[in-house]
Structures are given as structure tokens and as C-alpha cells.
Amino acid sequence: MRHLLSAGDLSREEAIDILDTAETMSATQQRQIKKLPTLRGLTVVNLFLEDSTRTRISFEAAAKRLSADVINFSAKGSSVSKGESLKDTAQTLEAMGADAVVIRHSASGAPHRLAHTGWIDAPVLNAGDGSHQHPTQALLDAYTMRRRLRAAASRGADLRGLRVVIVGDVLHSRVARSNVDLLHILGADVLLVAPPTLLPVGVRAWPCEVTYDLDAAIASHQPDAVMMLRVQRERMSSEAGGFFPSPMEYARRYGLDASRLAAMPEHAIVMHPGPMNRGLEISAAAADSHRSTIREQVANGVAVRMAVLYLLLAGRSESRPELPLEA
Amino acid sequence: MSRTYLLQGPALLGGQATDLLLADGVIAATGPDARRAAGAGTEVIDAEGLIALPGLVDLHTHLREPGREDAETVASGTRAAAAGGFTCVHAMANTDPVADTAGVVEQVYHLGRDAGWVEVRPVGAVTVGLGGTRLAELGAMADSAAAVRVFSDDGKCVSDPLLMRRALEYVKAFDGVIAQHAQDPRLTAGAVMHEGRMSADLGLTGWPAVAEEAIIARDVLLAEHVGSRVHICHLSTAGAVDIVRWAKARGITVTAEVTPHHLLLTDDLLADYDPVYKVNPPLRTAEDVEAVRAGLADGTIDIVATDHAPHTQEDKDCEFSAAAFGMTGLETAVGVVAEAMITPHQHDFGWADIARVMSTAPARIGRVGGQGQPLTAGAPAHLTLIDPAAPTPVDPEGQASASRNTPYAGRVLPAAVRATFYAGRPTVLDGHLQDERSTS
């Protein structure tokens, strides 16, 4: 693995290797001293050109627990509005000694450009690009599903046979795209549920099913996991595209309320990538229920990002350095 | 006294081989007469195996001057045009300042005359500042030294139906034509690529085919209603071909153009987010490419126009969404059209058809008198010699355009321009631009 740009680039074996490595990382995080010396002397740059506190903090924690030095570079907007090009920014950071670049960008494809134009040599880790991909989110979601639903048999396992329903603004969602790719690679069955306006033209080519009716989806699909996507309230305005008539109508038709929560199978989990719009796509009852894995997803995010950083950076040398597993 | 040239043995439009004598800016003689009439000072050019076409006429070129001389100038763009076999280009109006007054179109016209590489016919803007709200002084531009006949807000659509109707009506007074950039702005807000399977995967905002087709459908009906002719710029979708075919069958005076890139390239190329493939209208699907080829072959689409759109490296070496729309095309046009239309042998399409769609028909649509004429004695000596069997790799660094945003870098094109004569003067000889402007 040279870069991590898209969940769809991973093979089944690579994906399972990341999840297993994350299990190991997670085990080390139960100790009193959480820091591992693995990436000592290496520098990870968090290049965040779009607002995001949670993801940046998660990557920062992951890198620091592996003893890497972390440089945070945040600026809002694209290269144009900023006045400096992405190319110059990235080259500046590499000149300062970046060994890996974690990039969040509002433009789809920006990490791909960074990795494949010859601008820089360092491995590139996509932390979310436009409406395109957010591969570590999909990995932490898969990790969470595997732990919750495979329990003790999780290590080495894929997600074959699991039924996952993803609900909401698929059109603008990098979380949805990454999850459809990765869940397919890991053998799960995916059903997307959204108003027709919030599905991309071309979605029928994706390796998943699509429906417009959430109640029917829960009843017929008997999901093991229901993943709610964040919906931006502004999307209903005419200027922003007029994708739905009102937040209330959206909540009625596509929100995970108490009755839909009750209709889910006993064992099924409720997932959300955060940040949530309580009362819009998810009710408080669902968000705070014991079936919600929302806080667990956040914790798992650190372990998964530790695993990815470790595999990208340690994988550059001939042999993978051993993880110090003994406490 | 200008130099005289005897072109020995070129195949006229790919057919009969003959000789052509060029003197005093015209074709002085053809066939055996040419050899007989050649005097002592005549320069003989061996054109055996080459194809002679009337000089190519581009109805859609962005020369960028005034305003973006860092991307192209009238001089550099027309030099690129000559290298591509052109003897006339129509300079689009979306300059800075916009070519919406007699003053600006005359400036561009004179810059073209001074450069001397091709005939430059300025296109006038339809609306003031391309703003889409108020007609520009179309009559003043028509009456100016530039004698504008083609009007376009290209880059932007004349989307207001009433304004479009008025423009179509108004230009009848001086036999003008509105060249519409067909793009419904509301359906394409923020759009950067064709909307379909690829845009769904890449997470880029889609530019749906219907945004082009809906405007074309409206405009052919408007043209029918007011009895005007209308020209459709860079038609790119299968549905658009059907609409134009229907309109022509109905007797509506519509003409349409397709670009070389829409004849060859598809949206699959965007998988790497390389902005060199970012263009407006966007690259479409393989089915659309098939449809525009069929439409060009059966005459539904009248012409090929390059939409040569030079951009600086800064405007292309960046994130896809931040990059400028457009690709260069003058120097590769003939090779790309040959690659798309002749090499695959899908359609009954030959060099005479290339002459029709790249010279005769665009000259007629643009009402350019001396261009696109048959290669017969007495006609102006605007012509180009093409080697139809010269596989040529595209090297951006070797191009005459001031910009390097060609999408064909590294591709091998099947044909090459060997010579171009503009008003009897060789602008290209042996495949090389003739920078020495000899008047002896």
C-alpha cells in the first residue's frame, strides 16, 4: 500500500490486514501508557483544507500514539481562494520533512492529484475529499461492524452475509461511496435508501441495491446495521439545489425515529459518522440507544488510523517493524 | 511581386492528382496549364502523395487577446492555426474586455491582419459583457471593419428565451447568425463533468446531457418561429444529434458543430482527475461519441470546430474543481478528425468530407467570402497540404500555441499538415512554420 486514496483500491486481504492491525492497536490502547515508539522520528502532516475538527483530532491522536511528530496545517477553501496552490503547499510541507501527508480537501480528487502528479513523494492518506471518498471512515465503520457483529471471531474475518442499510444524502456523501466500496469488498450486502433527488445519476452501476422507502427497507431487508448519513439543512433551499421540500418532511420520510428503531431486528446496530443533526436524520432515541455505536465509532477511528499510518509508513521499509505487544 | 509556387502532384480532396500554380494570392492555373504557366522564378514543391484541401476554417477559436495574453495572443494562436492547416479562424468574444463593441472586434481584426498568419474573423458577443441580459450593439459590430456575422456568448448560454428570440430576429438584418453555447445554467450549477456513471464514482458534480438538449430543442423551435438561422456550438450528446436531425427534417435552418475532442475522447479519461480533460461541454460517453460521429457522417452535424481553448499551466496544474475548462485543438484538429472519422472505417467519410466539414461549410455558415472555395483557377490561394499517412506523435512542447493544455500528448495521430498557404504565401512548408515573412 503506497497511498490510501479510495476504499475501492483495497483488496480484501489488504482491508482485513488493516482491520486486524487495528485490533492490535486497539489492544495497546487499553494500557495505562498508550504511546508506542513505532513511528518515532517520522513526521506526519495533517493538511486540512476543509473545516473538520473531529477527523483532524483523530488523525493527530493516532499519529502521536505511534510517537510520530505531527504538523497541523489548516486553511479553509481551495487553492484558488487561498492564493497558494495545493502543489506549493504540499511541496512546502514536504520540504519541511513530511514523511506522510494526511489530506482533507473540499475538492473531489485532490488527494489523487497530490499522489499521482509527481508534486511530492510522500505517501498520501485521504482524510476525505469532496463528495468522493473517506476511506478511513469506511474502515472504522467496517471495524465497528466486525467487532459488534462478529464478536470473538472477528480477527481475520470479513463481513460476508451482513446486511447494511445506508440512509440519507448519498449524492453528496463520501462516507456512502467509501462504505459501498469497502462493504462490497468485504462481502456485505448493501442497500442504499434515499430520496431520489439525493442519489447520483449512475448509482445503479454501484455494487449495491437502491430503494426510496426506509420503512420497507427495514422490514424486508432485516438489516444487521443501519447507517444514517448526515444531511445538510441548506440542501433544501432553492439556491443549494432544492433537494427536498423541508427538514420536517425529510425527517418524517428518512429519519431514524423511535418506531423505525423498534422495527429493526433485535441485534441490529445504529451507526452515524457524525456530526449528527438530532431530530433531522436521527432521533435522540436512536442516537442514545444501547444499539447506537456512534461513540464507539469515534474510538475505533483512532485505532484504525493508527493501523493505516503504521502500514503506510512502516510498510515503506523492507520489513515491517514488530509492534511491541508486550506491555 | 509575390513569389509563385508550383505544387506538383497533390491529390485534390484526396481524389485526382494534379498540379497547382499559386501566384499573386490566387490559384493561377491547375493541371497541365499550371506547369506550362510556371515561370523561371517559380518555386516547385513536391506534393506527390499529399492531399490538397482548401484552407481550413475554424468557426470556434479562443485567441484570448485582449485580456489573457499569458495563455494566447492573436499572433501565437493564429500561428498555431496555420500549423494546423487553417487559413481562417473565428475569434470568440469572451475576452477581457468582452468583444461586445465595434471597438473591440476591430482591435482583434487588426491584430489578426498584422499577424498575417490566417484571416481572423472576430465573433461578437450577443449580450453586453456576456451578461445575458441586454443585447450588445450587434449592428455596429456587423457594420465595423471587422464585418462580424457570427455572434455568440460562448462560454455562457443565452439562456433567457426572450432575449434569444430577439437576437435571432435582429441579426437577420445583416445576415448574421447566433452561435449558441447550449447549456441550461440552472441544470449545470457547479457542474464539472458529464453526469453519469463516472461522475457518480468520482464524486464530481454532473453536467447532464439534458442541459444541452433542452436548450437546443428550444432554440431550433425559436429559429423556426422567427424564421432565422441558428448555429449550435460544440454539440456533444446523442440526444442533441437526434434533435438537430429532427429539426433539419422539419426544414428548420439550423447548423451544428462538433469538436475534435468530442469525436474521440470519453469521460472515462477523468478517472485520474487530470484537469487537461476538463472541458465544457464535458467529455461524454462512448455512446455519445458514436452518435456525434454518425451525425457528422450523415450531415446532421455540419462542421467540425476546434473550440481551441488555451490555458496557462497555473490554471490547469491544480485540483480538478479549481481548474479552467478547455483544451487546445488547432494543431491537432486534422489528425484527430482523421483518427475519429477515417481510420475506423465505420462511416463512409473521406478527405473530401473533411474539406466540407472543416472548410467549405464553416466558411458558408460564417459568411466568409474568400474562404472554403473549390481549388480551381481564379480562387484565392488558401489551401493546405496534408500527408494522410504520416503517423505523428503529439508533443505539447513542440506546439506553436502559447499554452500546453492538449489532451492528446503522447498520442499518435495518423495525418500531418505538411504545408499551408494563406493568400498565396506559405505559412507552413515541410511541416514547419515559416516565420520569415518574405515579400520578395
Q: What is the pLDDT of residues B170-212, one digit of tens each?
A: 999 999 999 999 999 999 999 999 999 999 999 999 999 999 9
Check CB contact under 8 Å for A133 and B204. Answer: no
pLDDT digits (tens, 9 = 90+) for A65-120: 999 999 998 876 545 455 678 888 888 888 989 999 999 999 999 999 999 988 89
Band of pLDDT at residue B274, cut at 50, 70 and 90: very high
Question: Which triple of cell numbers denotes residue A180?
Answer: 459501498
Question: Which triple of cell numbers denotes residue B410?
Answer: 503522447
Minimal Cβ distance to A205: which of B197, B205, B272: B197
Per-residue pLDDT at B252: 98
Per-residue pLDDT at A225: 98
Residue in chain B nearest A78 by alpha carbon: B322
pLDDT(B437) > 70: no
Non-local (6+) Cβ contacts of A231 within 8 A are: A168, A169, A198, A250, A254, A277, A280, A281
> Which chain B residues are within 8 Å of A86, Cβ to Cβ?
318-319
CB-CB neighbours of A177 under 10 Å: 27
Contact B148, B120 (CB under 8 A): no
Question: Which triple of cell numbers denotes residue B432?
Answer: 514547419
Per-residue pLDDT at A323: 66
Minimal Cβ distance to A79: which of B189, B195, B319: B319
Which of A232-241, B67-76, B276-285 has the least mean pLDDT?
A232-241
Residue in the structure block whose three cell numbers are 497511498: A3
Between A51 and B248, the higher pLDDT residue: B248
Rg (CA), chain B: 21
> Which chain A residues are within 8 Å of B322, Cβ to Cβ?
78-80, 107
Check CB contact under 8 Å for B317 and A241. Answer: no
> Which chain B residues are within 8 Å of A110, Cβ to Cβ?
273, 319-320
Contact A51, A94 (CB under 8 A): no
Per-residue pLDDT at A180: 98
pLDDT digits (tens, 9 = 90+) for B123-138: 999 999 999 999 999 9
pLDDT digits (tens, 9 = 90+) for A118-159: 889 999 999 999 999 999 999 999 999 999 999 878 899 999
Is residue B298 annotated as a catalytic residue, yes or no? no
ipTM: 0.90
Question: Which triple of cell numbers denotes residue B311?
Answer: 490555458
Distance (Å, whole) CA A173 – CA B209: 23
pLDDT digits (tens, 9 = 90+) for B233-246: 999 999 999 999 99
Mean of pLDDT values over B34-44: 93
pLDDT digits (tens, 9 = 90+) for A185-243: 999 999 999 999 999 999 999 999 999 999 999 999 999 999 999 998 777 777 778 89
Band of pLDDT at residue B28, cut at 50, 70 and 90: very high
Q: Which of A105, A108, A119, A177 has the highest number of chain B CBs within 10 A, making it the mutation to test binding with B?
A: A108
pLDDT(A326) > 60: no
> Which chain A residues are within 8 Å of B189, Cβ to Cβ?
241
Per-residue pLDDT at A241: 81
Evaluate the omega torsion of the peptide bond into residue B281 and state whether it is cis, within 30 degrees of 0: yes
Per-residue pLDDT at B440: 38
Band of pLDDT at residue A327, cut at 50, 70 and 90: very low
Question: Which triple of cell numbers denotes residue B346?
Answer: 465505420
Between A195 and A323, the higher pLDDT residue: A195
Per-residue pLDDT at A325: 56
Per-residue pLDDT at A75: 79
Question: Which triple of cell numbers denotes residue A237?
Answer: 433551499
> Which chain A residues are within 8 Å of B314, Cβ to Cβ?
85
Contact B4, B39 (CB under 8 A): yes
Per-residue pLDDT at A83: 63
Band of pLDDT at residue A43, cut at 50, 70 and 90: very high
Beta bridge partners of A225: A164, A269
**Angstroms from B178 CA to nearest CA on chain A:** 30
What type of residue sits at position A60? Answer: E
**Angstroms from B397 CA to nearest CA on chain A:** 18
pLDDT digits (tens, 9 = 90+) for B409-418: 999 999 999 9
Residue in the structure block whose three cell numbers are 499517412: B389
Residue in chain B nearest A181 by alpha carbon: B201
**Angstroms from B203 CA to nearest CA on chain A:** 4
Minimal Cβ distance to B200: which of A80, A133, A202: A202
Summary mean pLDDT of chain B: 97
Check CB contact under 8 Å for B321 and A108. Answer: yes
The residue among B186, B168, B180 whose CA lies nearest residue B130 is B180
* Confidence (pTM): 0.93
pLDDT(B301) > 60: yes
Per-residue pLDDT at B223: 98
Q: What percent of chain A is modeled with pLDDT above 70?
A: 94
**Which residue of the set B58, B184, B302, B307 is catalytic?**
B307
Burial letters for A112-144: b for 16+ Cβ neighbours within 10 Å, e otherwise? bbbbebebbebbbbbbbbbbbbbbbbbbbbbbb
- Interchain CB contact of B312 with A (< 8 Å): no
Q: What percent of chain A is modeled with pLDDT above 90?
A: 78
